[in-house]
Chains A and B, each alone.
Chain A
Amino acid sequence: MNINATLFVQALSFAFLIWFAVKFIWPPLNRAIDERNKRIADGLAAAEKGKAALVEAERKGDAAVKEARERASGVLGESEKRAAQIVEEAKAAAKVEADRMIAGAREQIAAELAKAKTELREQVAALAVAGAEKILQREVDAKAHGEMLSKLKAQL
């Protein structure tokens, strides 16, 4: 346990080990750890950003759903109104058409009635003349009694 030349050998060994550590051990370890620290920090920041984006997206989604719902209910109301209007219009049109048809039918009936009356009148007049001829045993002069026949037709 004396101090001897071993001292120098050990000092050189120590110097060599320090050199080795400075050159080959410290830098790669330091680099790896620093890089991982950076990655973790980046990852945490990205997660934070992702969370914020999610909240934003949820908010946007909710707003979109709400707007769509409002629009849908608006459209529904509009279409209901429109449908009711169409029904009303159709009803009105149908009523007009029906009235028109009824009026046409009445007119036709009235015209046919008038025509039938006229025909009947003619026939009754003819019949009356024929009857009178039989009664009188002679021919009735249509011209001479025309005025009387016209009065008769008008009375029928």
Chain B
Amino acid sequence: MKPFTQLTGIVAPMDRANVDTDMIIPKQFLKSIKRSGFGPNLFDELRYLDEGQPGEDCSNRPINPDFPLNFPRYKGASVLLARENFGCGSSREHAPWALEDYGFRCVIAPSYADIFFNNCFKNGVLPIVQDAETVDRLFKEMYATEGYQLSVDLQAQAITTPGGEVLSFEVENFRKHCLLNGLDDIGITLQQAEAIHAYEDKRRQQAPWLFASRS
């Protein structure tokens, strides 16, 4: 996993509530057996006017001129500003894969769906929670200023606006540690192999049917 430490980047809007993972990456792209290359199909049904197919070259597809990510001013954006309950719906990790592959390393929203939120941390994408009023204010500032950028510092748990305002955010220590260092959490868990074996030995006594093979 790519570490996340600091980021300064253009902010792009996804200005609607309850953006679901089908919207982030439609199901036909879930047929891939790879975990990369989803960026061109991020928000596929909103970004393009036709129906996208897996493996298709997107450079000649008709783009939706009304969709903000297609506006020149948001080109190269790395921070996505969003509304309530972002990432609801399915558990597909293809959603953060697509965001990351497109170039988004950070999402700022008032709330997220649990599974999506969790999946982001496994893929070097930082989902930041700010209250709805703050997010609303950031939307207004962003719309008012072309080239609007935010700086995000994970170590300091702070967002800095172009006006110099500093907004702090919460993040669980363990997740912060893994993200800052780009750690593989399977390796971390395997350091506790003895504890897992001990649990299994105890559980086998208490609940032997959970370890019995099929009758």
Bound pair (A, B): no
